[in-house]
């Protein structure tokens, strides 16, 4: 390998290693987000304390999405379950996306850039992008489910399309990597 290519590969390995640590931090934030959102949904169900002679105060955990704002204390148990499931699914998809990106960057940090395994990881990242788009569409329906108010229909489709394009590119890369590996065997 040429010295300038070795230097480029060393940069790829170094940057990929740094980005891999950022992905690990993102995975930690996903887990923390799931714990916090679950805790908020649970404590918002607890009855407000009554105090005679005390100044009246209200607790509010406001949920503002898609131009609709409401208090988590005001939603029904059914709506609380819907929001909880969507939080869990969304954070699960985000975790899956970060995990696949972490694995791809791990391949890159080992110098495995144009391999079938890396192309497969890119495909999984594309699938995760499609899933994020589907979850975005699901979140667009939350105000409709809870408050019968709906704005901005159709958003989230761009992530689905981008994810499908990434999947197609990964298939092309995988075929190219297989052709390169086959060519290396022949030579």
Q: How many whole angstroms separate alpha carbon 92 and alpha carbon 94?
A: 5
pLDDT at 20: 93
Over 70: is that where the pLDDT of 182 sits? yes
pLDDT at 147: 61
Residues 31-90 pLDDT 10s: 998 898 888 777 766 555 555 555 544 555 666 655 656 666 677 778 778 778 888 888
**The overall pTM is greater than 0.75:** no
Average pLDDT of the residues in 136-150: 68
- Label residue 138 by pLDDT band (50, 70, 90): confident
- Signed CA dihedral, 115, 121, 124, 126: sign only: negative
What does pLDDT average to over the chain? 79
Over 90: is that where the pLDDT of 169 sits? no
- Label residue 99 by pLDDT band (50, 70, 90): very high
Q: b/e map of 87-122 (b: 16 or more CB within 10 Å)?
A: beebbebbbbbbbbbbbbbbbbbeebeebbebbbbb
Average pLDDT of the residues in 103-119: 87
pLDDT at 178: 82
109: closest CA among 2, 23, 4? 23
Q: Which residues pair with 62 in a beta bridge?
A: 71
Pick the more confident residue, 51 or 141: 141
């Amino acid at each position: 390998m040429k010295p300038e290519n070795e230097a480029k590969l060393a940069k790829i390995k170094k940057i990929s290693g740094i980005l891999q640590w950022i992905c690990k931090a993102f995975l930690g934030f996903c887990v923390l987000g799931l714990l916090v959102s679950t805790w908020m949904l649970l404590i918002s169900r607890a009855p407000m304390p009554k105090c005679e002679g005390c100044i009246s105060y209200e607790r509010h955990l406001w949920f503002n999405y898609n131009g609709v704002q409401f208090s988590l204390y005001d939603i029904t148990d059914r709506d609380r379950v819907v929001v909880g499931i969507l939080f869990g699914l969304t954070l699960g998809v985000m975790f899956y996306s970060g995990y696949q990106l972490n694995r791809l960057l791990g391949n890159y940090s080992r110098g495995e850039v144009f391999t079938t395994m890396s192309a497969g990881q890119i495909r999984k990242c594309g699938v995760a992008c499609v899933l994020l788009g589907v979850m975005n569409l699901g979140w667009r329906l939350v105000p409709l489910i809870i408050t019968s108010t709906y704005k901005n229909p159709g958003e989230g489709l761009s992530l689905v399309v981008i994810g499908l394009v990434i999947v197609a590119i990964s298939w092309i890369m995988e075929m190219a990597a297989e052709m390169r590996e086959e060519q290396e065997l022949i030579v």
